[in-house]
Structure formats: C-alpha cells, structure tokens
Chain A
Amino acid sequence: MKTIRYYAPLRGIIKKESEEIELSSVKDVLHYIEKTYGKEASVCAKSALIVVNDLSISLLQGAKTPLNDGDVIGFLPVCGGG
C-alpha cells in the first residue's frame, strides 16, 4: 500500500489530506487523480512539487518513478524565498 499526501492548493480541491492507494508509479497516481477528481485537480497536481518519500521526482525518474509498498507520494505547493 502507498500513501498520497495532499497539500494546498490541491487539498482544497480534493478535500482530503491523504489517502491510501495501490498503484505502481507516479504517472499512475496522476492518472488516478484526473480520473477520480477531475481536470482541475489534475492540472493542480501536475503543477505541484511532486515528491516520493520527501525527494523530488526530478531527482528520481520523473513521472516514471516506480512506487513500492510503504512509499509516500506528496503534492507540495511550489514556493521559495527565505
């Protein structure tokens, strides 16, 4: 089982903080979001900083990043400035 964690603004659309899924890659998760929650959620998810176990998928295999049992996929808001 894998866990998806949603943060603002995606959380506001999906109305969930997290959920458990059984999918095998980040791409599958993006398809799942589009199919389950609609276009707006899909656009928002794709523009988020997507992390697997707190690491950006840019440092992994992008959307093709495989998911293993116990993995946590996060959709973080993009921001910067400190």
Chain B
Amino acid sequence: MRTPVYAIIDLNKRTSARFEIDESMYRKYIGGKILGARLLYDLTPAGVDPLGPDAVVIINTSPANGTGAPCSSRFNMTFKNVLTGGIASSNCGGQFGVLMKRAGYDGIILRGQSETPCVISIVDKQITFSDAGELWGKDTEETQNAFPKIYGKLVIGPAGENLVRYAAAVSGERVAGRCGAGAVLGAKKIKAIVAYGTQRPYVAKPEKFAKYVKKWVSFLRNHPMTGEALPNYGSAGLVSKANATNALPTHNFKYGHFKDAQAVSGETLADKYLVRNSSCISCPIRCERRVQVDGKEVKGPEYETCGFFGPNIDCISMENMLRLNYQCDLLGMDTISLASSIAFAMELKENGLADFGVSFGNSDNLIEIVEKIAAREDIYGELANGSKWLSEKYGGKEYAMHSKGLEMASYEPRRSVGMGLGYATSNRGGCHLNGGYLALLESVGVLSMDALSTSAKPAFTAFFQNALEAISASGFCLFSAQSFVPAILFKLGPHHKVTRAVGKIATHMGGGVRALLWMLPILHFNSLYLFPHAEVLRLVTGLPFYTGSFVHLGDRGYNMERLYNFREGLTGKDDSLPDRLTKMPQDPNNPRTIVNLDKMLPVFYRIRGWNTDGSPSKRTLRKLGIRV
C-alpha cells in the first residue's frame, strides 16, 4: 500500500513542505472530496472568511487518477464555499490533476495569501514560486498559453482576480466551475498553478487491473448510454428530454416547458454546429462537443449551459449561447450560477424591483454584460455576488433559485421531486450531483419513477448521494456510473410496458433501498453492472473495497461534509428551496406539482441517521468511524 503524498504551501512565506497522509486517515477517507472535507475540517478554524488569508484551499487527486482506468482523470478542489459559507468541492476533468500526480504530489494544501500575484510550479517534486507579472489580467486561454504545452495547468481569469463569487478555475478547456473555485485562488493571488512530472501512479495489482480496465472500457463502449447517447449528443442531449417531461427550467424556473427548446437542444447542436466530439484523458465515452466560435474550434456547451442561456432566459439563439459559453471559460466563470443570477435579475426587472439592463428573450447584450460582471464594473458588480445576495438586497426571495446560496442546476424539481430533495439537502448547495441526481430516474432518463411521488425518494436520494460521493472521491467522472441502468431498458425504450413497470416498482422500493443501506457491510462483492469503480479502487489501492464498503465510504464523506456545514453555522433550516418550488404548483391545476419538502425531509433525516434538526447523530458518526 502507498499512502498519498501532499505538499502544504505557505503563500505568505512562499515555502512548501512535503508530507504523507497518515495511513489510518487514508484508509478511511481515501482521496478527492472526501479526504478534502476531512482535511478542511481539521485545518481551518470555524468561521474563517472564504476569501481571507486564513482560508485553506485543497487541490487533490484520488487513487484512480492517471492510472488509465476509464473516466479517471478528474481532480478535486475543496475549500470554504464562497456562495454558501459551507463546504465546497469543485471537480474538474482537465489535465492538471494527472500531471500533479506525475510530478509527485497527490494533493496540495494552500494556506495564507501571496502579497503579489504569483504562479506556482510543481515540476518533478520541486515546488517553486514566481511572480505572475503581466499574466494578471489575462484570460484563461492566454494565461495557459504562456506555459509549455506538456504542463498541466490550473488558472483563473479576470473573474477570479476580481473575486466574482462564482468564478471558476480552468484547466485546459475543463472547468472547476462551482462554488467560487476561481475566487478562492484569486483571493490568494494565485494566477496559475502548473505541474509536470513523469512519475507513474501506484497500482497495487497491475495485471488484474489491466484486465479489468479492458473489460470495463468494452462495457462502456457497448452500453447505449455511454456508447451511443453521450458520444452522439453529449449532455446537451438532455434539453429535449427535460422539455418532454416539463422538467426544463424556463423563465427563471417559473415553467418547465419551452416551446422553442429544440432550437437550443443537443440534437440541433449535433445537426448544425458540431465539428466533432472529444474527451478528457482516458475517457472512452467522449461526450465533449467541439464547435466553432468565430471560426475557431472550441469546447461546446454542456446541458446546464444550454438550459440556462436558453429556455431559462427565454432565448433561442444557439450562436449567442456558443459564444457565451466560450466567453465564460475565457473569463473563468461558472455558467450555472452566472446565467441563473442573470435570469433572476431579469425577473427582478419584470417585477419592477431592479433593472440591470437584462430582459427575458434577449441574449444579444449578454456578451457585453458578462464582461462587465467579470470586471465587477458599475452595477454589474452586484450580479457577481449571486442570486441569494441579490434577493437579500432587492427582494424576490421566493424566486431566487438557489439552495443555501448556490444556484440550482437545470432540472425543474417540481417535475422531479426527488431531485428537489437532493437540491435542498446537498452539502454544497443547489447541486444536482451532490444532491444524488434523482432526475435521471424521474424525468430525463429511460427509466421513469413517478416524478411527483414522494414515496421512496428519501431512500433513493440518500443512497445515490453516498454512491456519487464515493465515485467522485475515487477520481471518476460520474458519467461512468450511468451504465448502471440496464442496457435492455434502452433497447425497449421508455414507453415499453416492461420499462414502465420497472419505473413503477422503483417508485415503491423505498423499503428495499433502506434495507440495502442497512446491508452495506455484507455486500461483499463487486459488479461491472453496478459500481465497477469499487473494483478498480480495490485493485489500485490494495484495500478491501467492495460494493458495500464503497457506498459506506460515500456515506462517511457525506457526513463529514455535513459536519463541516454545521460547524460553519448552516443547519437543517438551510435544507430548503425557494417558495416557487415548495408552495406554487408548476401546473396550477395539479397540486402535486410542488416539492413537498416537509414530507420528505423527516424521513430523509431518519434514513441518514440524523437528528431531527438535521445534524448527524453521535450513533451515526460512531458507525461511520468519524471522530471530531
């Protein structure tokens, strides 16, 4: 077994020290966001300012990163969330993580604040500092072009420098988008971190690993979801699916269906704009869209961007969207929080509460406005604070579409109520992935549980929050988990009686999933059809990871993050959604089209082993082996 090597970097003194993670901590927390949460809890006092000198930023990898396992290039950033004040983990598929690992570090911990803008270089175990000089002020592309091509880079753009609360960090064309990852680097005056090395990642059982990887790659390539749908349409393919089930946020989540959604759908993107598809390192799925903007080939938009710069602001211009997507990458901004804040500002204007010069149905002036937001110019500096901040100043809290301060993703939870529970309870705020992503089973996948029923949703949400937590912390892209829906259901289709029957049964399987959560200790097997990630983790680390212990790892991570949130002042009361979703039915003639949190939350807390106030109970912490 090999324990992870980290460097602690003191930006005040511009020094670094190498250390190994303690073996018992490694066994319990493994890496990525789960180990990140533990380290952040231990290394920072309560109440620290996320943009202040005492804040800590952890950038780390996971055991599977760089090993060649499918979809395993993702690295993680953990820090205090700029938008929520709770935990933040931001995940990115760029090359930086793999190159940092090859340079000899599984993670770095950034402390203090540089006096002047700086660049950190991590090359063959050596960590050096230099002044950012003229790079400060440059966009993310120009900044990355200043370094050798073979380097892994993690940089910020003007938005991060100007502490836009939802600024992103960018690696290649991949983005650690959420929670203000760019802002926390900007606050520390870090313009870029670059890494290069040739060290091979550790694999405990290399021969078995190689065989299993081959099998898994073949499985992913032959599955209708990961072998056809995602390569052909990318995540943007979801626009028409969400629209078909009234789950596509439209007009700042006021509605769930947009009559012109096809104009900004994955199908239109593929038919008229797609140059080719591409991928992250070691990914057989290849969901990335390559498109042209002003004659230049760049990364195309993901589903969230299509939804938020399209139907959610009543716009149908794909050209504007492609340009906005590229511009956000250059400036270093999260498209979800940015576009959702803009939609909120549009509704403020509609209701006569504030005027930022943005209106529903018009995306022509957004290029200019987005530049101003990144620069925090004039009144646009207020849009850089996010929708929660805006609603506290101007009103409209009932339609400020965030949870805990983080803007929700592009799934209308009144047509996917389990997703609503996930948004409300997600540790990092309104995030679909940290929330368990039940939308996939309720409204946008082949299998459709009753999207309006609250039955079974608490159990499914807890299970998938844990599972996705473990997959992410092991270094895998969550798309690699989409093959768990049996291929046969795709062949039969969503309207076939068998598929519908499976969805119906799942709607009433809450008891079964609860039993599964209790049975984790005896789920001593791994399956290619369920969580192949667990088997890869076992072969890479040499530690006894099986389906049960893998999901248990996710449970530990989820509770660790929850503990951090409670320590920072968030409580069960923050497990909430705006009134638009909980009190105003999407369909005025159907009272079921709301998210009934009052009904689901107590059940969810019980399943998770949390107290009635939403805090993890002592018994639960003991069961998970968490000591604080």
Residues of A within 8 A of B (CB): 7-9, 46-51, 54-59, 62-63, 74, 76-82
What is the chain A residue whose CB lies nearest that of B237? A79
Min distance, Cβ A25 to any Cβ of chain B, angstroms: 14
Pick from A47, A56, A77: contact of B496, CB below 8 A: A47
Stretch from B197-205, B240-248, B528-536 that touches the partner? B240-248
Say yes or no: is B568 at the interface (Cβ < 8 Å to chain A): no
- Interface on chain B toward A: helix, strand, loop, or mixed SS? helix
Pick from B246, B261, B304, B440: contact of A80, CB below 8 A: B440
**Assuming A47-B496, A55-B244, is B267 touching A76 (CB within 8 A)?**
yes
Bound together, the chains give a CA A55 to CA B257 distance in angstroms of 8
Q: List 20 A-B contacts (CB under 8 A).
A: A47-B490, A47-B493, A49-B240, A49-B495, A54-B257, A54-B261, A55-B246, A56-B245, A59-B244, A59-B246, A76-B240, A76-B244, A78-B241, A78-B494, A81-B238, A81-B482, A82-B235, A82-B238, A82-B302, A82-B411
Pick from B232, B302, B303, B432: contact of A77, CB below 8 A: B232
Pick from A46, A50, A62, A77: contact of B233, CB below 8 A: A77
Pick from B259, B287, B302, B490: contact of A78, CB below 8 A: B490
Bound together, the chains give a CA A58 to CA B244 distance in angstroms of 9
Whether A79 lies near B229 (C-beta < 8 A) is yes
Whether A79 lies near B494 (C-beta < 8 A) is no
What is the chain A residue whose CB lies nearest that of B447? A80
Whether B432 lies near A62 (C-beta < 8 A) is no
Bound together, the chains give a CA A55 to CA B242 distance in angstroms of 9
Whether A78 lies near B245 (C-beta < 8 A) is no
Say yes or no: is B409 at the interface (Cβ < 8 Å to chain A): yes
Q: Which of A50, A55, A82 counts the most chain B CB atoms within 10 A?
A: A82
Q: Which of B241, B303, B445 counts the most chain A CB atoms within 10 A?
A: B241
Min distance, Cβ A42 to any Cβ of chain B, angstroms: 12
**Assuming A51-B244, A55-B257, is B495 touching A82 (CB within 8 A)?**
no
**Assuming A47-B490, A54-B261, A63-B495, is B244 touching A82 (CB within 8 A)?**
no
Min distance, Cβ A50 to any Cβ of chain B, angstroms: 6
Pick from B225, B232, B240, B493: contact of A46, CB below 8 A: B493
Bound together, the chains give a CA A9 to CA B53 distance in angstroms of 54
Whether B493 lies near A82 (C-beta < 8 A) is no
List of B residues within 8 angstroms of A48 by Cβ: 493
Whether B244 lies near A54 (C-beta < 8 A) is yes
Say yes or no: is B228 at the interface (Cβ < 8 Å to chain A): yes
Pick from B230, B409, B410, B432: contact of A79, CB below 8 A: B230
Bound together, the chains give a CA A46 to CA B492 distance in angstroms of 7
Apart from A58-B448, A80-B446, 8 more pairs, CB < 8 Å: A49-B495, A54-B257, A62-B495, A78-B494, A79-B238, A80-B445, A81-B230, A82-B238
Interface residues of B in 256-279 (CB under 8 A from A): 257, 259, 261-262, 266-267, 270
The 4 closest A-B pairs by CB, nearest first: A79-B229, A47-B493, A82-B303, A80-B445
List of B residues within 8 angstroms of A54 by Cβ: 240, 243-244, 257, 259, 261-262
Say yes or no: is B328 at the interface (Cβ < 8 Å to chain A): no
Min distance, Cβ B351 to any Cβ of chain A, angstroms: 28
Whether A77 lies near B237 (C-beta < 8 A) is yes
Q: Which of B267, B287, B440, B496 counts the most chain A CB atoms within 10 A?
A: B267
Say yes or no: is B444 at the interface (Cβ < 8 Å to chain A): yes
List of A residues within 8 angstroms of B262 by Cβ: 54
List of B residues within 8 angstroms of A78 by Cβ: 224, 229, 241, 445-446, 490, 493-494
Interface residues of B in 35-52 (CB under 8 A from A): none
Bound together, the chains give a CA A81 to CA B440 distance in angstroms of 7
What is the chain B residue whose CB lies nearest that of A46? B493
Whether B448 lies near A9 (C-beta < 8 A) is no
Q: Which of B233, B444, B494 counts the most chain A CB atoms within 10 A?
A: B494
Min distance, Cβ A80 to any Cβ of chain B, angstroms: 4
Whether A79 lies near B495 (C-beta < 8 A) is no
Whether A9 lies near B495 (C-beta < 8 A) is no
Say yes or no: is B19 at the interface (Cβ < 8 Å to chain A): no
Q: Which of A46, A62, A77, A79 counts the most chain B CB atoms within 10 A?
A: A79
Whether A80 lies near B482 (C-beta < 8 A) is yes
Bound together, the chains give a CA A81 to CA B244 distance in angstroms of 15
List of A residues within 8 angstroms of B482 by Cβ: 80-81
List of A residues within 8 angstroms of B230 by Cβ: 79, 81
List of A residues within 8 angstroms of B2 by Cβ: none
Interface residues of B in 177-236 (CB under 8 A from A): 224-225, 228-230, 232-233, 235
Bound together, the chains give a CA A47 to CA B491 distance in angstroms of 6
Whether B492 lies near A47 (C-beta < 8 A) is yes
List of A residues within 8 angstroms of B444 by Cβ: 80, 82
Say yes or no: is B479 at the interface (Cβ < 8 Å to chain A): yes
Whether A58 lies near B495 (C-beta < 8 A) is yes
Min distance, Cβ B27 to any Cβ of chain A, angstroms: 31
Whether A58 lies near B494 (C-beta < 8 A) is yes
Min distance, Cβ B132 to any Cβ of chain A, angstroms: 34
Whether A81 lies near B494 (C-beta < 8 A) is no
Bound together, the chains give a CA A67 to CA B392 distance in angstroms of 48
> CB-defined interface of B481-507 with A at 8 Å, one 1/0 digit per residue?
010000000111111100010000000
List of A residues within 8 angstroms of B446 by Cβ: 78, 80
List of A residues within 8 angstroms of B491 by Cβ: 47
Q: Which of A48, A56, A57, A62 counts the most chain B CB atoms within 10 A?
A: A56
Bound together, the chains give a CA A38 to CA B233 distance in angstroms of 26
Pick from B228, B259, B261, B409: contact of A82, CB below 8 A: B409
Q: Which of A49, A76, A81 counts the most chain B CB atoms within 10 A?
A: A81
Min distance, Cβ B443 to any Cβ of chain A, angstroms: 9
Bound together, the chains give a CA A81 to CA B411 distance in angstroms of 11
**Assuming A49-B493, A76-B267, A82-B409, is B232 touching A8 (CB within 8 A)?**
yes
What is the chain A residue whose CB lies nearest that of B482? A81
List of B residues within 8 angstroms of A7 by Cβ: 267
Bound together, the chains give a CA A9 to CA B261 distance in angstroms of 20
List of B residues within 8 angstroms of A50 by Cβ: 495
Min distance, Cβ B437 to any Cβ of chain A, angstroms: 9
Min distance, Cβ A31 to any Cβ of chain B, angstroms: 15
List of A residues within 8 angstroms of B238 by Cβ: 79-82
Min distance, Cβ B164 to any Cβ of chain A, angstroms: 23
List of A residues within 8 angstroms of B303 by Cβ: 82
What is the chain B residue whose CB lies nearest that of A48? B493
